Structure 1
């Protein structure tokens, strides 16, 4: 891919910020399309305002830049939407992009980012269509995948990737909050009930995505993006605290968490925001391990280990807090 033109939608988001920076570092000619300004000011030189729901604006950006590779990350990613209409970027935006790509014969490969939330926690899909979303956001991503598959025969070579729980520099909710709580001594371990999940350090994530675009074959329909070794969230908190030189997070009985979730549900029902709920408790106690082996095997770049990832993230947090 060296010296090729690469277009990234959603380049101002968390993964997008890291992807744009990585592509620039590898020497590619990059264009980042987003409605938001870059989180990383170093990416201002490649940023261009574009709403993917504006079909004409999107088509004009493509035709003027004529990219060789496309990475589609633009999306609404929070879970606060009440209906699919709240996630138009994930549905109408995807349809617009597919329509543009259908006539963009200069594009060699397009990678569409979906989400692991197209399936409920613990559900291992047998096929790409074996989905079971439990949130409106997840349903919107299912719709986005369906649209890509409908257009696929008319588009250049395409891949669908499902990022898992990604963390690292430039992150926000929920894992920035997790790190902040551990560092502030406010994280409470749940003990034996704590979940083990597939997470992904963001540098590995973007390297996998870039590598997938370079695959010579298209035999794999979709890829889960993340690290091969699952993480137990309580053990992760202990590693973070140890690296940061902070005290070990305390542990509380399940009764404490049930009470906290009840209070949170009551607050949320009355319109008050509370940082804990039954939904979050279930998330903390439900194992969710998926197979990232195909993405890992595709990765042509060095893998960053857990301890190195924690150190890099702590360094970024320190630097970003100084700037704030």
Structure 2
């Protein structure tokens, strides 16, 4: 249970998940600080920010020697999948190792939360790992997080530790979706192949931060050396997309026959070999068709969600796009008439 005496140290709190987590912690009057190399997106969170890089051990030593944290939530990471070179994910490997090493040095820490990803395991034949330390990493990013998990498991930490694997996270303060998927949906340009359901696990960010808060407030005997997928219960991805289109455009999602979409994807592959960018290609098409869901039921049984209603959560995100979020994105700023 978090008390007034606790001191929470967050790494990477200036990012998408961290911004929402800090909002929650402010409401709960927690004592915390955020170490991040980037300034917070929300200007009212600057007072909690310390500029620093987890790859630099001296930055961590400076904070720990002054602050003596009791709980550490490690969010800082490179999270894209653009590179195939593991050296490009140094924050995820060496940076995470530095977090483990500094926590081992300071006995004040009683609980360490290490943030991983669902990308540490992906199999088309066996959808779920048989145990927490079974890995089939997807992308180099997934490999970097596998390394982080293994370092955590084998570190002989004296404090309690918990690994969390966020699913497909969305919601307010996501800085990519407004310029990509949500804009395409709003313009009516998105089409979806007609076929069987593609089941996915989404994580509304405020449900995810609710679960992190539940973990740090739980009995350590329950959460120690445990791995939790963070997010909502799996659903047909079409339901998620349809809700967005309904609220953005007051219309229905456009569908086309699967064979047409597959043909367009093949055309995209050919154009790609010629150096011509095209919005549809086979990898993207296959991703649209695949089931990829996680065992979030274990997490939800223990820690619940803030709000399980998809419609409410989409509405809350759109309200953010109309309000605070609009100024960050020219398209939404113009649509909602923000100066």
Say whether the fold is shared (TM-score over 0.5). yes
- What is the rounded CA distance, in whole Å, between the counterparts of 2:164 and 2:70 in structure 1? 19
Structure 1 partner of 2:244: 240
Structure 2 partner of 1:181: 184
Structure 2 partner of 1:168: 171
Look up the SS of the partner of 1:252 in the other structure. Answer: strand
1:140 Cα offset (Å): 0.8
Structure 2 partner of 1:2: 3
Match among 291, 297, 318 for residue 314 of structure 1: 318
Residues 301 and 120 (structure 1), Cα distance of their counterparts in 2 relative to 1, 3 Å cut: closer
* Conserved? CA contact 1:2–1:27, under 8 Å: no
- What is the rounded CA distance, in whole Å, between the counterparts of 1:13 and 1:267 in structure 2? 35
Unaligned runs of 5+ in 1: none
Residues 164 and 323 (structure 1), Cα distance of their counterparts in 2 relative to 1, 3 Å cut: closer
1:303 Cα offset (Å): 3.2
Q: Which moved more, 1:129-138 or 1:215-224?
A: 215-224
* Conserved? CA contact 1:183–1:246, under 8 Å: no
Residue 129 (1) aligns with residue 133 (2): yes
Alignment of 1:90-109 (within 5 A): 90-109=92-111
* Conserved? CA contact 1:186–1:249, under 8 Å: no
1:67 Cα offset (Å): 1.5
Structure 1 partner of 2:23: 21
* Conserved? CA contact 2:232–2:308, under 8 Å: no
Structure 2 partner of 1:113: 115
Alignment of 1:235-274 (within 5 A): 235-274=239-278
Match among 128, 151, 154 for residue 150 of structure 1: 154
Match among 57, 66, 73 for residue 64 of structure 1: 66
Structure 1 partner of 2:280: 276
Residues 295 and 78 (structure 1), Cα distance of their counterparts in 2 relative to 1, 3 Å cut: same
When normalised by structure 2's length, the TM-score is 0.89
The CA RMSD over aligned residues, in Å, is 2.0
- What is the rounded CA distance, in whole Å, between the counterparts of 1:249 and 1:300 in structure 2? 30
* Conserved? CA contact 1:121–1:286, under 8 Å: no
- What is the rounded CA distance, in whole Å, between the counterparts of 1:264 and 1:304 in structure 2? 37
Structure 1 partner of 2:201: 198
- What is the rounded CA distance, in whole Å, between the counterparts of 2:252 and 2:87 in structure 1? 44
- What is the rounded CA distance, in whole Å, between the counterparts of 1:273 and 1:55 in structure 2? 41
Unaligned runs of 5+ in 2: 330-339
Structure 1 partner of 2:32: 30
- What is the rounded CA distance, in whole Å, between the counterparts of 2:115 and 2:19 in structure 1? 14
Residues 220 and 296 (structure 1), Cα distance of their counterparts in 2 relative to 1, 3 Å cut: farther
Look up the SS of the partner of 2:228 in the other structure. Answer: strand
Residue 85 (1) aligns with residue 90 (2): no
Q: Which moved more, 1:282-291 or 1:263-272?
A: 263-272
Look up the SS of the partner of 2:229 in the other structure. Answer: strand
* Conserved? CA contact 1:241–1:248, under 8 Å: yes
* Conserved? CA contact 1:215–1:298, under 8 Å: no
Alignment of 1:38-77 (within 5 A): 38-77=40-79
1:275 Cα offset (Å): 3.4
1:280 Cα offset (Å): 1.5
Look up the SS of the partner of 2:163 in the other structure. Answer: strand
